[in-house]
A and B are shown apart, each in its own frame.
Chain A
Amino acid sequence: MNYLADKSYLAVKPEATPGTPVIPDNFIPLISESIRVNPNISADRRFKGLTWKSDDVVRGTRLIEGDLVIHADPDSIGHMLNMVYEKGVTTGSAPVGYTHPFTVGEGKHYSIEISRGDFAQRIWGVRGENLKIAFQDNKMIATLSIKALGQFNTASLAVALTGVGMTSAVLKQIYDTRPTDGLVAGDVIRIGAVDITLTSVNADGVTVGFAATDVTASIGDPVFLVAQTPSYSAIVEPLYLGNTLVGVAATSALADTAAATKATATPCYNLAMDFKNNLLDAIASGATGAAALLNQVREASAEISRLFENPTQYQKWIEYVKQAITMITKGTYIKSDNTTWEQLTVKLHKVKLISNEQPLDVGQYLFDKQKFEALYDSVDGKAIEVNLVNRTAGTEY
C-alpha cells in the first residue's frame, strides 16, 4: 500500500507532567516536517580478526530533533509559542477572544504525533528550540525547530502471542531499555493485522496490557502505533504581511505608537524574526538520549527589508543606536460587533543593527537590508514580549 503525504497530520498537546506522554488531540495543518530520530548508528569498529571494515553496527547517543513548518494562523501559532516561551494568565472569553501573554521563560513540554500512512510516530518531551516567523508570498510561515526526549513509532515482540485470550504484549529492548515509553493507555497498536487498544502501559517499560484478544504473532514481529483520524476545530486563514504593521522607533512605547496606524508604521517589504532558546541536550546516565532539554541563554534577531530613503539607518548601524520594533499582525474579527479581532503582537524592546546594506542592482530601487540583534532592555526590564489574541481557550495551552 502507498500513502500520500497530504493525508498525514500533526497533532500536538501540552504534557500535564513534563516528559510524561499524552495522546495529542490538537490537529494543526502541516506544510512540511523534518523530525528525525537519529540513534547515531555506526559501524562496529572493534578488532574482530577481519580484513573487512565491520560485520555489524552499534548505536551512539540518540538525538530526536527537526523542524515543523506551518502557516502561522492565530490558533496554531499559539502552540508554537507555548513550546518556546512561558504563557502567562489568559484573559478574555469565547465571544471576545482569548488573550495569551507570552514572556521569556520555560515553554511547555509537548507530546506531538506525526502520521505516515496508517502509522503514527509519537514524540514526547518536546520542547521548542527555535521559532522563526517569516513571510512568503504574503503568508506568515512559522518554522519551529524542536528537540525531544523520546519517541515511539514501532517496536517488536519479545514474547510470542499464541491466539485466544491474550491480555498483554512484551516488547524487545533493542531500541531502548524501556521500549513502551511514549505509549499511553487508550493508544491503538497493530500486531500483525490486529488492532489492539491498550488498557495499560506497565511501569516495567516493556509490557503493555489490553482486553482479552485473539492475536497470534511470533517473537520479532513488528508492533506499530496506529495513526489517528485527524479532526480540525477550524482551518483558519494564516496571518498575512498585508495585515501587518511594523513600528520602528527609539523606544518600545514609541514603536507601539508607530505600529498603531498605517500612516505612522514603517512599510516593510519583508520581515522575519527568529527566537532561539539554544536548548541543551542534557545527556545523563540512565538515558540513551537526552535526559532533559535545558534552556540556555535566549536570543532573538530580526530582519527587515525596506525602501532606502536616506542614510538614517546607516548612521544608526555604525553608531549602534538603540531602536525598538513592534510588529502587530491582525487576523479576522472575533466579536460580533467587529470590535475585537485575532492579533499577534511581538515587541522587541531594544534592537541594534548588526548589518545594514543598500546593495546597488541595475534597474532596482535601493533597499535598506537590515539585520537586528534583539537585546535585553534594562529600562523596560525585558527583551521581548508576545501577545496573542485568538479563539483558543487558555486551557488548551
Chain B
Amino acid sequence: MAKYKNISSRDLWVPGVGTIKAGESAEMPEGFRNANFKEERPARKKDPEESKAGE
C-alpha cells in the first residue's frame, strides 16, 4: 500500500477504493497507477551525520 494524492481538479472515484477529493490523498493498492494521482513519498529522515555537518 502507498499513499497517492489526487492532483486533478476533480473529485475522483476509484473502483474498489472510493472517492478521493481533489487535493486529498488516499492509500492505494499495490500496482496502482493513474495519471490523476501522484505518489506521496514519506519525507526522508535526516541522517544524524548530515545534521552534524550542517552545524
Seen from chain A, the residues whose Cβ lies within 8 Å of a Cβ on chain B are 11, 23-25, 186, 188, 195, 226-235, 393
Contacts and interface: CB of A to CB of B under 8 A. Distances in A.
27 contacts: A11-B35, A24-B35, A25-B8, A25-B35, A188-B33, A195-B31, A226-B33, A228-B34, A229-B15, A229-B28, A229-B31, A229-B32, A230-B34, A231-B12, A231-B13, A231-B20, A231-B34, A231-B37, A232-B12, A232-B13, A233-B8, A233-B10, A233-B11, A233-B12, A233-B13, A234-B13, A393-B9
Given A188-B33, A226-B33, 17 more contacts: A23-B35, A24-B35, A25-B35, A195-B31, A228-B33, A228-B34, A229-B15, A229-B28, A229-B32, A229-B33, A229-B34, A230-B15, A231-B34, A232-B13, A233-B12, A233-B13, A234-B13
Nearest to B7: A25
**Top 6 A-B residue pairs of the complex, sorted by shortest distance between their CB atoms:** A25-B35, A231-B12, A233-B10, A23-B35, A231-B14, A25-B36
Query: Looking at A229, A233, A234, A393, which has the most chain B CB atoms within 10 Å of its CB?
Result: A229
Task: Describe B's contact surface by its main secondary structure.
Answer: loop
B16 to A, nearest CB: 9
Contacts of A195: 31
A227 B31 CA distance: 10
Nearest to A235: B13
Contacts, number: 42
Interface in B18-36: 20, 28, 31-36
Contacts of A25: 8, 34-36
Contact of B35 (A186, A226, A393): A186
A232 B34 CA distance: 11
A287 B6 CA distance: 38
Contact of A230 (B9, B10, B14): B14
A231 B28 CA distance: 12
Contacts of A235: 13
Consensus secondary structure, chain A interface: loop
Nearest to A11: B35
Nearest to B28: A229
A195 B30 CA distance: 12
Contacts of B11: 233
A99 B50 CA distance: 56
A353 B14 CA distance: 47
Nearest to B37: A231
Contacts of A23: 35
A11 B34 CA distance: 10
Contacts of B32: 229
A232 B12 CA distance: 5
B38 to A, nearest CB: 10
Nearest to B8: A25
Among A186, A227, A231, A393, which residue has the most Cβ atoms of chain B within 10 A?
Answer: A231
Nearest to A230: B15
Contacts of B20: 231
A231 B36 CA distance: 8
Nearest to B32: A229
A188 B31 CA distance: 10
Contacts of A24: 35
Contacts of B31: 195, 229
Nearest to B39: A197
A229 B14 contact: yes
Contacts of A231: 12-14, 20, 34, 36-37
Nearest to A233: B10
A212 to B, nearest CB: 17
A232 B28 CA distance: 15
A25 B15 CA distance: 15
A228 B35 contact: yes
Nearest to A118: B31
B4 to A, nearest CB: 10
A26 to B, nearest CB: 9
B24 to A, nearest CB: 13
Interface string B30-55: 01111111000000000000000000
A76 to B, nearest CB: 14
